[in-house]
Amino acid sequence: MTAVKRAFKYRFHPTAQQERELLRTLGCVRLVYNRALQARTQAWYAEQRRVNYAETSALLTAWKKTEDLAFLNEVSSVPLQQCLRHLQGAFVNFWEKRARYPRFKSRKRGKASAEYTRSAFRWRDGRLWLAKMDQPLAIRWSRPLPEGTRPSTVTVSRDPAGRWHVSILVETSVAHHAPTSAAVGVDAGITSLLTLSSGEKISNPKQERRERAQLATARRRLAKKTVGSGNRAKAYRKLARVHARIADRRRDFLHKLSTRLVRENQTIVIEDLPVSGMPRDGRPARAIPDATWSQFRSQLEYKAAWYGRRVIALDQWFPSSKTCSACGLLLDALPSGAREWTCPGCGVTHDRDVNASRAILAAGLAVAACGGGVRPTRRQPARQSPVKQETQPARVGIPARG
């Protein structure tokens, strides 16, 4: 058993009064976040000084005392303080080079959210009251919370499609799956979303392509509406609903797939693909985001941690496609259009993707046994695009990421 923190997300339908209060809270959260970000940015450029959370909290107190921002006192203070903590976390990630510089929140686009800690909500008999509200939220309980748990944090969000969700964070125990000797190598692709070392190919559902006609229609209708009009806002919501439908289907598919792999295998070996650095023009530009490899990897990693499994990520430059999984011979070059090739060393004919997944598995098992990793023998050219096709040989060495 492992104690973990899990967030359970539910849809809810607020009353008219609750919606007004929530919209006011979301607006205040956005305002405080943007003003704090502006203050921190100005302090850096003017004085080369870093502003911390305590200073932004003092600024919030001062803003509430001004006549122009006195309305900040009308909403719960907890979401306002929490957004300052989130901003501090965003700057820490930026300073440690894990993320780019924090951006301002938009009033018209993107998901808006507000976080409530225990002092700002009441939980009783399976019903949830937020601060400043007299009635509980009408939550659609699609699945029950773990028995005996109590929420530690509640996050209310509204997506661009106008849907309201509440995410309830609880601490619960998760039982590990029974240990097994099974291991699998996973080669990610576009035509086949995943190719497993067992030879199985999992086709890419291509959710965006299925809705491409609806997306085009919704975009044309949005483009014809007058900027700032009510009809444009309605057209934008219709477009957002199509995007939400695509995202929901994609997320559901990836959850089922990642759960299956974690349940069946003790060790899962994948490639460390730098999705953010892949081509942003041409045909791959639409196919790569639709594949959502990074989301799949994230799901694999946290589920493996929950259930006592292991995920090994190989270096992105490991030449899996050019390495013979039967004898280990490394080809000098392999055309990107070649889907099958015959090894000149042992004469085995390989399916490109199946061979890559088996080479990935072999390298991952070597990492698990020896504690080493996989990395290229020499530095890659500075302007080389980090696409999946490998172009240089590799050897066993020290991993760039573990």
Residues annotated as part of the active site: 187, 271, 353
Q: For the beta carbon of residue 162, count every other beta carbon within 10 angstroms.
A: 12
- Which bin fits 148, alpha (ψ -120 to 50), beta or left (φ > 0)? left
Nearest to 243 by CA among 276, 222, 205, 214: 214
Q: Which residue has the tokens 């444009």?
A: 232
Scan for tokens 């020896």, then name that residue.
Answer: 370
Q: Which residue has the tokens 């760039």?
A: 400
Give CA separation, 163 vs 13, 78, 237, 286, 306, in Å: 8, 23, 10, 26, 30
Phi and psi, residue 216, nearest 5°? -65, -40
Render the burial of 103-131: b for 16+ CB within 10 Å, e for the rest: eebeeeeeebbbbbbeebbebeeeebebb
Query: DSSP assignment, residue 402?
Result: -
- Alpha carbon distance, N-terminus to C-terminus of the chain: 24
CA distance 266 to 183: 6
Encoding tokens for residue 311? 């995920």
**Beta carbons within 10 angstroms of residue 311's beta carbon:** 20
Tell me if 233 sits within 8 A of 107, measured CB to CB: no
Q: Please state the φ and ψ torsions of residue 376, each to the nearest 5 degrees.
A: -65, 160
User: What number of H helices and E strands is found in the chain?
Assistant: 9, 16
Sign of the CA dihedral 244, 250, 252, 258? negative
Closest CA to 179 of 58, 268, 263: 263
Question: Alpha-carbon distance 334 to 105, whole Å?
Answer: 46
Cβ(122)–Cβ(92) below 8 Å: no
- Tokens at 251, concatenated: 């997320």
